[in-house]
Amino acid sequence: MKKKKTVVVGMSGGVDSAVAALILKQQGYNVIGVFMRNWEESDPLTACPAAKDFEDVISVCDKLDIPYYSIEFIKEYFDEVFAPSIEEYKEGLTPNPDVLCNLKIKFNHFYQKALQLGADYVATGHYCRNEKATLLKGLDPGKDQSYFLYTIKKDILERVLFPIGGMLKKDVRELAQKYELDVYNKKDSTGICFIGEKDFANFLQKYIPKNPGKFQTLSGEVVGEHEGYAFYTIGQRKGLGLGGAGAPWYVIKKDLSKNIVYVERGENHPELFSKKLVANNLSFVANKSFLKESDLPYKLRAKVRYRQSDQECEIIKCQYSNGNDNDQKNISSIEVSFTELQRAVAPGQAIVFYKGDVCLGGGTIRSSSM
C-alpha cells in the first residue's frame, strides 16, 4: 500500500487555512495543522487574539480529525520582523512587515519546523497558485496575495501547496459552511499582526519617541505640528489633525534632516505623482538569471502597493555588484520607469513584478522621481 504524503498546514484560526486543510484531507494527504504564535500578547495595545485563534484551530482540526500543534516563533518574529520594521520607521520609511514575515517566519522557520515534523509538503491559506514551482496570482483578483510572497524561492516552492489559490473567497466560505467548520463566517483579520486594528500611531509611539516638528506646505507655510515624521507615510490623509476649510490635506514628502512633513491639499496634487523609482533588496522567484545589461529596457508590469492593478513599466537600469551582470544575485538595485504616473510611491514599500499571472519577484522601494 502506497504511503500517504504528509502536509503540514500553517493554520491561523481563519477560514482560509481551515479550508486549505479540509481540501488536503479530501485529497488524501496525511494532514497536520500547525498554529504559529508570533507575538507576545501581554501588551493591552496589541490586538493579536492568539488564544481565541488557537481555539478555532483546535475546533477545525477536531472536526477534520487531524492532529495539531502550536509552535512559538515569538523571539524570531521580534528579532527578524518587528525590530527591523521599527528601525525602518525610524528612518522615515514605510516598511511592509507582511513581506518580511513570509520571508523570515512562514517560509523559513515554519517551513524548517514542518520538515522536522516529517512533512513532504508545506501548505498555507494564501490566495496564490503554484504551478511547477512557478508563483502565480490567486484566481480571486480581490484576494490575490502574491504581492506579499515575492521573496519565496523556487526550491522552496517545490514543496509548497496553496490549496485555495484557485478559488474565490465566497466559494471558500461556502465550502467551510458546507462542512460545518465553525470559522466559515469569521471576519478576516486586517492590519499588521502586531498592531491589528489598534491605533497605528499610538502603537508606534511605544517604540519610537515622539519628535514634534512642523507640518509645512511646499511653499513654506506652516499649517500645524506633527508628532514625528516616523508616524506618517506618503499619501496619508487620515490622522494628520489638520482641519480648516477646503480639500483634505495629504502628506507629500518628508525631510528627515529638518524634521518637516510636507503637506498639500487635494488627493491628486502633482507632487504626489512619480514616473520613476529606484528599488533594492531585490528577490526573484526563479533561479535562472534575467535582467542582463543586454536585456534592458526590460518590459513587464508591476504593483507598488497591494490591491493596485498591474502597471505597465520597464526596468531601464541595473546596478550590479562584483561587475557581473550574468547572475541576478549580483543585482544591487534597479531603476524602473512607468508608462503612467504613479501616485503616493512610499519608500520602504514593495514593488512586485509580473509577466501575466506569473510573479517574477520584487524589491524594496528606496526613492521615486519624475
What's the domain count of the chain? 3
Average pLDDT, the chain: 90
Domain match, 73 and 219 both = no
Domain match, 53 and 115 both = yes
Which residues, in sequence order, are CB contacts of 288 under 8 Å at separation 6+?
Answer: none
Q: What is the domain-level CATH number for residue 216?
A: 2.30.30.280
pLDDT per residue as tens digits for the range 316-366 = 998 887 755 555 667 889 999 999 999 999 999 999 999 999 999 999 999
Q: What is the domain-level CATH number for residue 284?
A: 2.40.30.10
Q: What is the pLDDT of residue 289?
A: 57
pLDDT per residue as tens digits for the range 123-148 = 999 999 999 999 999 999 999 999 99
Q: What is the domain-level CATH number for residue 95?
A: 3.40.50.620
Q: What is the pLDDT of residue 288?
A: 57
Q: Is residue 192 part of a domain?
A: no
Q: What is the pLDDT of residue 188?
A: 81
pLDDT per residue as tens digits for the range 60-79 = 999 999 999 999 999 999 99
Of 126, 151, 185, which marks where a domain is finished?
185
Domain match, 263 and 325 both = no
Q: What is the pLDDT of residue 323?
A: 58
C-alpha cell at 86: 521599527
The DSSP-derived string for 139-156 is SSTTT--GGGGTT--HHH
Contact between 189 and 196 under an 8 Å Cβ cutoff? The reply is yes
Q: Is the pLDDT of residue 202 over 90?
A: no
Contact between 33 and 67 under an 8 Å Cβ cutoff? The reply is yes
Domain match, 257 and 143 both = no
Distances (CA, A) of 204 to 41, 45, 310: 16, 10, 31
pLDDT per residue as tens digits for the range 80-138 = 999 999 999 999 999 999 999 999 999 999 999 999 989 999 999 999 999 999 999 99
Name the residue range of residue 218's domain. Answer: 209-267
Distances (CA, A) of 221 to 216, 254, 258, 352: 5, 15, 15, 37
Give percent of the chain with pLDDT exceeding 90. Answer: 77
Q: Is residue 32 part of a domain?
A: yes
Q: What is the pLDDT of residue 209?
A: 92
Please name the residue ranges forming H helices in the chain: 15-26, 50-64, 74-77, 83-90, 97-101, 110-116, 154-157, 169-178, 200-204
Q: Is residue 203 part of a domain?
A: no
Q: What is the pLDDT of residue 45?
A: 47
Domain match, 257 and 276 both = no
pLDDT per residue as tens digits for the range 5-62 = 999 999 998 999 999 999 999 999 999 999 998 887 655 545 456 778 899 999 999 9
Of residues 313 and 292, the one with the higher pLDDT is 313
Question: In degrees to the nearest 10, what's the CA dihedral of 111, 115, 116, 118?
Answer: 140
Tell me, what DSSP letter sits at residue 136? E
Which residues, in sequence order, are CB contacts of 182 under 8 Å at separation 6+?
Answer: 56, 59, 60, 63
Q: What is the pLDDT of residue 326?
A: 54
Quote the CA–CA distance of 137 and 127 in Å, as a whole number: 7
Residues tagged active-site: 101, 193
Q: Is residue 333 part of a domain?
A: yes
Domain match, 179 and 71 both = yes
Q: Is residue 195 part of a domain?
A: no
Q: What is the pLDDT of residue 114?
A: 95
Domain match, 247 and 364 both = no
Q: Is residue 43 part of a domain?
A: yes
Domain match, 176 and 259 both = no
Domain match, 153 and 38 both = yes
Beta bridge partners of 35: 70
Query: How crowded is residue 45: how many other Cβ atoms within 10 Å of its Cβ?
Result: 13
Quote the CA–CA distance of 293 and 83 in Å, as a whole number: 36
Domain match, 177 and 34 both = yes
Query: How crowded is residue 216: how many other Cβ atoms within 10 Å of its Cβ?
Result: 19
User: Which of 151, 136, 165 has the alpha carbon at shortest distance from 361?
Assistant: 151
User: Which of 370, 127, 108 has the alpha carbon at shortest distance from 253?
Assistant: 370
Q: What is the pLDDT of residue 69?
A: 93
Q: Is residue 148 part of a domain?
A: yes
Of residues 161 and 241, the one with the higher pLDDT is 161
Quote the CA–CA distance of 125 and 22 in Å, as a whole number: 11
Q: What is the pLDDT of residue 295?
A: 82
Of 246, 267, 288, which marks where a domain is finished?
267
pLDDT per residue as tens digits for the range 251-307 = 999 999 999 999 999 999 999 999 999 999 999 998 655 677 778 899 999 999 998
Domain match, 132 and 242 both = no
Q: Is residue 232 part of a domain?
A: yes
Q: What is the pLDDT of residue 321?
A: 78
Of 267, 297, 312, which marks where a domain is finished?
267
Domain match, 143 and 50 both = yes
Quote the CA–CA distance of 343 and 234 in Å, as a whole number: 9
Of residues 242 and 326, the one with the higher pLDDT is 242
Question: In degrees to the nearest 10, what's the CA dihedral of 318, 255, 370, 322?
Answer: -10
The DSSP-derived string for 152-176 is --HHHHTTEE-TTTTS-HHHHHHHH
Q: What is the pLDDT of residue 194?
A: 53
